[in-house]
Amino acid sequence: MIYNNMILGNELFQKSFFKAYEKEFLQLAHKGQTPKALYIGCSDSRVLPNLITKSAPGDLFVVRNIGNFVAPYKPDEDFHSTASAIEYAVSILEVKNIIVCGHTKCGAIEAIHTKSCATNPELIHTKTWLTLGDSAKAQAILALGLNADKEVLYRLTEKLSVVSQLENLLTYPSVKKRVDNGEIAIHGWIYDIQSGEIEYYDPEISQFLPLSSLRVEEEL
């Protein structure tokens, strides 16, 4: 059934959305992509980057993983999927913005606290990957205490994790150099899956604020 739904969905896409933006799609096909931002988000099926930002095709270079984590820079020749996407977006596509977008009700964050992946031998890679959220977990517990309401604890950990991933981003020499030169701006977001709202991290006051507050009104 799901396969049929996807087939029908693609047919509808070709007849409606693709047809409406055919000129833009053909231009992207012939001239290549010049995305405005690298978007690093969670693989969670409830969070759709282009949908929640109403971005056009070609606007976002998207990499998604469990927990929207960024592993620290490691200069070896092992397989590093997210690191490769960062390198490509920064050094080849020359994006001007990098967005790390977390979200509420994140299963990865909950798993870090409950250690639900720790004893399952089929989740060996996931167990290791989730350690990238340990720092945020520790900070949240330090701020709220071990006896804090778990939902409050999870929400704070989600936000602190985004900040932690921004710090990890700056361990990449190519990113750090361009941030220092003013060529790239990095942004930390939290998407609320229950309201559709996005908050951004303001490093000057160490708080998350409504993204809408940044909107610049167009001059008439």
- Residues with Cβ < 8 Å from 161, sequence gap 6 or more? 67, 68, 69, 102, 109, 133, 136
**Running along the chain, 220 residues long, what does each successive block of 10 average in pLDDT?**
88 94 95 97 97 96 98 93 97 98 98 91 95 97 95 98 98 98 98 98 96 71
| 10 and 54 inside one domain | no
Whole-number pLDDT of residue 69: 98
| 26 and 69 inside one domain | no
| 80 and 5 inside one domain | no
| 85 and 137 inside one domain | yes
| 14 and 41 inside one domain | no
Examine residue 199 and state whether it is found in any structural domain, yes or no: yes
Examine residue 216 and state whether it is found in any structural domain, yes or no: no
| 7 and 62 inside one domain | no
Whole-angstrom distance, CA of residue 148 vs CA of residue 137 = 12
Hey, what are 157's tokens? 């950990």
Examine residue 79 and state whether it is found in any structural domain, yes or no: yes
Examine residue 218 and state whether it is found in any structural domain, yes or no: no
Whole-number pLDDT of residue 77: 87
DSSP letter (8 states) at residue 114: H
Q: Tell me, what CATH number does 115's domain have? A: 3.40.1050.10
| 10 and 75 inside one domain | no
Whole-number pLDDT of residue 173: 97
Overall domain count for the chain: 2
- Residues with Cβ < 8 Å from 37, sequence gap 6 or more? 59, 60, 61, 95, 96, 97, 98, 99
Whole-number pLDDT of residue 218: 44
| 20 and 69 inside one domain | no
Tell me how long the chain is: 220
| 97 and 24 inside one domain | no
Whole-number pLDDT of residue 217: 55
Whole-number pLDDT of residue 111: 96
Examine residue 124 and state whether it is found in any structural domain, yes or no: yes
Examine residue 217 and state whether it is found in any structural domain, yes or no: no
| 124 and 20 inside one domain | no
This prediction's pTM: 0.94
Examine residue 220 and state whether it is found in any structural domain, yes or no: no
| 16 and 100 inside one domain | no
| 78 and 171 inside one domain | yes
Examine residue 85 and state whether it is found in any structural domain, yes or no: yes
Whole-number pLDDT of residue 220: 36
Domain range for 22 is: 1-32
